[in-house]
Amino acid sequence: MTINNLYVVLICLSLLNACANKHADHGPSTIKQNALINTATQEKIKQDHVIELIKFYESYASLGIDEQKKIYADTSVAILENGQDKSQHIRLAMMHSLPSSRVRDINKAQILLQDLLQGGNLSWLEYALVNLLYEYTLDSTKQIQKNRDETKKLEAAQTKYENLQQKYDALEQKLNELKNIEKTMNERDTHSANKP
């Protein structure tokens, strides 16, 4: 999953939300205008928060081992201090789901993401991002299992090949022995025929 795909999903979701928030009544009422402005401001804050999370995802992937471990430790401490901070939980799940992460653990990422999805206290943008990450981790798990199955099949085929190679070598050795016996018998027959 590339960061560009995440940006496209985020933009699409923002546009859908903007279309859904239009009201049919466009009267000059200042109360309605203020409500629309407040809604737009809140949505902008939520979008900025999700964009910040996506940027974190992108930047974390390019960090070195020590930097990743430090951010992981800082995030874990932040979660211990404030267990209600959804942002830190999302970051931790991202760290566990990234392929280039030194703390990668798909199972932990799935558990964290599932808890976030079932918690119900996410904005729709956060929910979309968390759901996307969850689907990504499910696909990763399926791919890992598929790779394991393929490795097992390959190992079984390799073992079968080695067994067949051993049988072939044994049969070839027996064939060579039989050829030597036949050669020896032919030589005896030619020597005995030449002796009168």
pLDDT (average), residues 146-169: 93
Q: Which residues constitute the domain of residue 7?
A: 3-16+40-148
76 and 112 Cβ atoms separated by less than 8 Å: no
- What is the pLDDT, as a whole number, of residue 37? 62
Is the pLDDT confidence value at 28 over 60?
A: no
pTM: 0.59
For residue 101, being part of any structural domain is answered with yes
More confident residue, 190 or 145: 145
Q: What is the pLDDT of residue 24?
A: 46
- Residue 35 above 60 pLDDT? no
- 102 within domain boundaries: yes
Q: How many distinct structural domains can be found in the chain?
A: 1
% of the chain with per-residue pLDDT over 70: 77
Note whether residue 172 is domain-resident: no
Residue 196: inside a domain: no
pLDDT in tens, 161-194: 999 999 999 999 999 999 999 888 888 878 776 7
Mean pLDDT of the chain: 80
